[in-house]
Structure 1
Amino acid sequence: AFQDDQVPKAVRVRSSGLEGQSAKIVLKQGDEKVAEEPITFSGGEQLVSVNFTPKKAGDFKLSASIDPVTDEVVKDNNSQTQPIRVVDAKIKVLLIEQSPRWEFKYIQALLMRDRRIKLKCVLMEGDPSIANYKDSPYLARVPTDKKELYEFDLIILGDVDPRNLSAGQLEAMNEFVSKLGGGMLMIAGKSYSPGAYRGTALEKLLPVELASDDRAAREASSEKPIRVELTPAGQRSMMMRLADTEADSTAIWSKLPPIYWDANVARAKPAAEVLLVDADPTRGSRFGKRPVLAIQQYGAGQVCYAGTDNTWRWRRNVGDKFHAALWGQIVQRLSLPHLLGESKRIQLTADKRNYSLGEKVTIFARLFTEGYEPLAEANVRGFYAATTQPSATRQPVALKPLPDQPGMYRAEFTARDPGEYQFALERDEKITLPITIADAQLELGDTAMNEPQLRQIATVSGGQFFREEDLFKLPDVIRRKTETVKSTLDVEVWSSPLCFITLIVVVTSEWLLRKAMQLK
């Protein structure tokens, strides 16, 4: 979050038996209340947006809570906390374009509206005099002085003819990323990008390999709609998140309007992370589906490739809702490391921020060597420790490399004790990832009666389901019933008393008969 900039925070509330009652959601930054929002319970799950404006920069705990309402049975599940970082700076973006195509117009408009961003634009085919107007967002030319260029955090290069840029400017952009840790985004176009940059200093930093046929790379728009789909990496990437949860975000992506053009490239480079692809496998290559959005670490900085200039089509029927969210997150991902001066060789992420006791914690680490090549070690050691206990014992964790993803490692462990933790690597303990582990409290998390499941249990067992207010009907449905129980007793013949008696009778009869007949 940015200081003095309004931040919308989505709070998910689940309630039962409180329909029609009202309460207030209170938002606190640390111990200071920063916002509150009324809520009227409707039963089930509700998503409430609470807006607040952070006034202080730094790392804080942001908590949302609701005071217990009248007759509430469980009062221990009315709050949730997560970490937040507030910065006091603006992201400086340089947007370079050949001519004002649709993609440029919409991206320029949303970046100019964003209070977190200080935007400067260069139109190669525009009138240089527009830069002379007061508060003009335009520059007359692309900076030729490295110092001037390096003041930016992010360079967005559109469908620009590379002949309009000198070899020195192209090399300066390369160094801006590789040595200074700046961000770069190339947005493909039908005239020049990315194919025309073959053999230039920018070809090296792109996360994709250029197609051998430049004509095919700049093929005309298709009349057939093109669907895009998230890769597994894209599904878990916060940069691509269009909703609060991964599942909801993936569902939104699957329903976005189609595009009608994407650039043909050979494949993604080995160190690149492909986030979005053309869903049609026939438009890909022998290496897989065609990359539409890919990102990679290049030296000290990050480079993103957008293989379509049709993202403005995703505004249909919803306006800026998803289009602005996506581009805002891309800009933040590429520029914030340079703005905040974070480490470029170690990037730690978790599959989510908060975990329940006993839940599996998954940590991803993207690691590079001192030369900014993907790390290729078989094992990497890490650990996590409680932040509230300075003398807490470190819990060692092993990270294993992910197949077919150079430099990418994963660690998994079970959250055994509640508290605030930090995860770090033994190779550099200064780079940490905060983790929160809380009691699962499954009974307190959802206290509503699961009526469908209870009815199913009653049906399967041959019984009936009654709510408390219907118990008076119970005597009428109970019927006395006598049942005959059949049982079988198996007895061995030779152990039967009847058999013994019969034997005695036979023997005795024989003896008496012999005596009577005077037989021996």
Structure 2
Amino acid sequence: MFNLDYLPSGDEFHLGWLAPWPLWLWILVILGIFVFTIWCYRGSSRAPKRHVALGLIRFILLVVVAVLLNGPVLESHRELHTVDQVLVLIDESGSMAVPDVVDDPLQDNRMTRQEQVRRLLEETGEEWDRISEERDVRWFGFHGHPYQMDAPDHSIPLNLERPLGSHTRIDESIARAIAVSAGGPISAAVVFSDGRSDHGLKSRPIADIRSAGVKVIVVPVGSAEAMGDLVLESVTAPDQAFTGDRVPVQVAITRRGSTKEAFDIVLRDRRTGIELDRKRVDGGEQVRVEETLMGVPDLGGTATWSITIEPDKPDLVADNNQKDLDVELLDEPLRVLYVEGSPRWEYRYLKNLLIREKSIESSIMLLSADRSFAQEGDRPLSRLPVTVDEFSQFDVIIIGDVPSGVMSPEQHHLLQEAVAAGGAGLLWIGGEISTPSSWAQTELADTFPFNGPFEMPSIGSPVQMQPTDEARRSGVLQLSDDGSSQWPQVLQDENTDWSKLQWAQWIQPSQLKPTSSVLAETIRVRDQDLPIPLIMSIRYGIGRSIYVTTDEIWRWRYGRGEQLGEQFWIQLIRHLGRASLAAAREIAELVPSQRQIPVGQVLQLKLKVFDESTQINMPESISVSVINTEGRLSTNLDLQQSAQDLDTWTGAWVPAWAGIFRLSVDLNGVDIETQVRVEDVTLEYQRPETDHDSLATLAEMTGGEVVEPDSIESLFNSLPDRSINETEIRRAGLWDAPFIFILLMVLLTLEWTGRRLLRLA
């Protein structure tokens, strides 16, 4: 009846107007209606009282119409309060896992930046609960983008997720969080972060934040003092070695962040604590440092060693400064076959060395000797090996200046297979007559670390030798009097005649095969800018071949007796022997194209099966399991058999995550694995230091402020009140209410009836 359904029940309401007239207009309208009513009923003298009654009805009717023209409504007023939002953004990028926050100064205990955030939130839990009752607090995590989180329950320890993101975009994450919260007023955006971002502050997201009128309050976490990090990335050593052998331990260390300080690399025996070797690395800008340390085990069994970084200043993450390694030690002698064409000077001294060395079981054959000559060695031979079993009895085979014709093509093939499939080591000693020229047309030419032509000229002048970095990494050519790994200075002194090699073959660097490596080269050669290779090495199948271009090492005995020559040859022979030991245990090898690659780069994999009986039973497609650092299966890769080489399977993998992964094959008796390190080369992990300056700039550009963790309580006084108080007015119109229509019809009916009774027109 009164059209009040729209008004909330129980609310107070009063009369209002949609288009109210001013008072002067009301006065004119009332006077006009009054004059108009008198004019309508003028000049009638009959029943004056009835005329007055009808005029009053018309007057009321017109006044009601005038009132309706003002839009009369019934109004209900309600006060509304809209709370503002507080956006809390917590950095969950990878850099938040850096433990650079001092927890206990006395014990130098450190906690991660993420742990610092957790403690700050727990310590202020009551304040956050109070704010949550008064305001809408929205929790976000972010790294490359923001994502909403559940509000923390402060009655239990806060359990933040482990850092996930490899990228951080602080300004963009804040702008997106504001965009998804645009449904209500925003008090401020509170950011807990270390400030480390992929890029600087960008103008567009900053403009979006400023246009939204939201100030950013930053809480910088992490150490404000720049601290770099030394990371012991990898330690590589032979799985097996001989007792008393100089075992090379290759170490790769990465400098991360601003660290430029010097440090020591120390090799220790874990059981005794004895220091076996130490290398000093000077400070500098070099990001990656590679060094080789030498350990000499003197007991059988297993050598239990550790590699430790000892920085001059406190390191950011001490946990990544040490790795352990175990080396299985063998007391059995190394089996060596030495074949020489004629009794040249190098033969005489090398032969005596092999016979004298207790760790070597030698068989020596001098081909130029007559039948009455008694071949020397621990196991003298009357002829060269002619079967697979006879060749397999030797770990290392040394071929001097020997014509290829002393062996049949079948023996050439057997020796090649002994290296490629059996893992034997092959040591060539060049000569002026037959090696390598007479071997050019044989299968064994493939074992040379260089390509033809094989008619090698001599250098033509005395030269001195120096080892390369590859020799240091391999642990060979470490000649010294005091046990150090430094090349003797006397061998580099131009005034020392006995250190000069009077003859050596001249191999051009362009002749070297792509997979070969140079172990030693000339120091200086007249009219030559580039050094000339003197000793080269190449991996051949699962074995290894080394070529020495000179037979003048015997001259060093004039300066130091047998010591330098003995160290020179024994280290090369044992290097080949270690390769033979490793190969003896393998029936296959899984080789990645790189041992260390960035995320997203293609890694080529090759599986080669050396055992023919195993190869026959292998399927055309082989699955490779990729295991992450937690021991979980990350993915499976398929390797396809090569149509040209039936003993080879190839495939590719594109790693999506950083970490150390084990790639393993376990099928039909083949149980082999290899390890690959995948690095994230983004700024997130290359620069672990905080960037509090960028956070301060962000706060300044958005009209916010910086709240230090030590004064976190002041944060809650810095939150502006941007809640909105509004009055909601609900109106119910009266012009279309039924009772208005009834009133008008009643007034019209009364006037019409009265005029009919009085016989008025």
TM-score (normalizing by structure 2): 0.37
Taking a change above 3 Å as real, the CA distance of residues 51 and 172 of structure 1, as seen in their structure-2 partners, is closer
- Counterparts of 2:604 and 2:554, CA distance in 1: 35
Bigger RCO of structures 1 and 2 (CA < 8 A, at least 6 apart)? 2
- Shift of residue 80 of structure 1? 1.5
Retained in 1: the 8 A contact 2:365–2:375?
no
Work out which of the residue numbers 663, 682, 687 in structure 2 matches 1:423: 663
| Equivalent AA in structure 2 for residue 2 of structure 1 | A
Give yes or no for the alignment of 1:309 onto 2:550.
Answer: yes
Taking a change above 3 Å as real, the CA distance of residues 26 and 207 of structure 1, as seen in their structure-2 partners, is closer
2:384: which partner in 1?
Answer: 143
Retained in 1: the 8 A contact 2:655–2:678?
no
Work out which of the residue numbers 361, 365, 383 in structure 2 matches 1:122: 365
Work out which of the residue numbers 151, 154, 159 in structure 1 matches 2:401: 159
Work out which of the residue numbers 626, 646, 653 in structure 2 matches 1:384: 626
Retained in 2: the 8 A contact 1:356–1:415?
no
Give yes or no for the alignment of 1:433 onto 2:678.
Answer: no
- Shift of residue 176 of structure 1? 3.7
- Counterparts of 1:239 and 1:16, CA distance in 2: 27
- Shift of residue 35 of structure 1? 3.6
- Counterparts of 1:418 and 1:258, CA distance in 2: 48
What does 1:108-119 align with in structure 2 at a 5 Å threshold? 108=351, 116-119=359-362
Work out which of the residue numbers 201, 206, 222 in structure 1 matches 2:460: 222
Give the secondary-structure state (helix, strand or coil) at the position aligned to 1:160: coil
- Counterparts of 1:141 and 1:172, CA distance in 2: 18
- Counterparts of 1:50 and 1:330, CA distance in 2: 13
Retained in 1: the 8 A contact 2:459–2:503?
yes
- Counterparts of 1:148 and 1:10, CA distance in 2: 33
Work out which of the residue numbers 319, 330, 336 in structure 2 matches 1:93: 336
Work out which of the residue numbers 540, 543, 561 in structure 2 matches 1:297: 540
Give the secondary-structure state (helix, strand or coil) at the position aligned to 2:568: helix
Retained in 1: the 8 A contact 2:365–2:381?
yes
Give yes or no for the alignment of 1:188 onto 2:418.
Answer: no
Taking a change above 3 Å as real, the CA distance of residues 422 and 263 of structure 1, as seen in their structure-2 partners, is same
1:487: which partner in 2?
Answer: none
- Counterparts of 1:380 and 1:302, CA distance in 2: 24
Retained in 1: the 8 A contact 2:366–2:375?
no
Report the number of matched residues.
394
Larger radius of gyration: 2
| Equivalent AA in structure 1 for residue 241 of structure 2 | F
- Shift of residue 74 of structure 1? 7.9
What are the superposed Cα offsets for residues 274-309 of structure 1, whole Å, 9 maximum, x if unpaired?
3239899xxxxxxxx9997353536xx546262612
RMSD after superposition: 6.6
TM-score (normalizing by structure 1): 0.51
1:457: which partner in 2?
Answer: none
| Equivalent AA in structure 2 for residue 96 of structure 1 | V
Percent identity, aligned pairs only? 16
Retained in 2: the 8 A contact 1:397–1:413?
no
What are the superposed Cα offsets for residues 193-232 of structure 1, whole Å, 9 maximum, x if unpaired?
2222355564566565553xxxx815456127599997xx
- Counterparts of 1:323 and 1:408, CA distance in 2: 38
| Equivalent AA in structure 2 for residue 123 of structure 1 | L
Work out which of the residue numbers 585, 591, 598 in structure 2 matches 1:341: 585
Taking a change above 3 Å as real, the CA distance of residues 361 and 67 of structure 1, as seen in their structure-2 partners, is farther
What are the superposed Cα offsets for residues 85-130 of structure 1, whole Å, 9 maximum, x if unpaired?
4143443110111123344456556656666532222122347777
Taking a change above 3 Å as real, the CA distance of residues 140 and 130 of structure 1, as seen in their structure-2 partners, is farther
Taking a change above 3 Å as real, the CA distance of residues 140 and 26 of structure 1, as seen in their structure-2 partners, is closer
- Shift of residue 158 of structure 1? 1.0
Retained in 2: the 8 A contact 1:128–1:141?
no
Retained in 2: the 8 A contact 1:424–1:431?
yes
What does 1:90-489 align with in structure 2 at a 5 Å threshold? 90-105=333-348, 107-108=350-351, 116-126=359-369, 131=374, 136-137=377-378, 139-144=380-385, 146=387, 147-165=389-407, 169-170=411-412, 172-174=414-416, 176-177=418-419, 180-200=422-442, 202-203=444-445, 211=453, 217=455, 219=457, 222-223=460-461, 225=463, 235=470, 239=474, 260-262=503-505, 273-276=515-518, 293=536, 295=538, 297=540, 302=543, 304=545, 306=547, 308-310=549-551, 312=553, 319=564, 323-324=568-569, 327-328=572-573, 330-332=575-577, 335-338=580-583, 340-343=584-587, 346-348=589-591, 367=608, 384-386=626-628, 389=631, 391-394=632-635, 421-424=661-664, 430-434=671-675
Unmatched 5+ stretches in structure 1? 281-288, 372-378, 402-406, 443-520
| Equivalent AA in structure 2 for residue 422 of structure 1 | R
Taking a change above 3 Å as real, the CA distance of residues 238 and 398 of structure 1, as seen in their structure-2 partners, is farther
Retained in 2: the 8 A contact 1:292–1:307?
yes
Unmatched 5+ stretches in structure 2? 1-239, 285-290, 479-484, 494-499, 524-531, 613-620, 643-647, 684-761
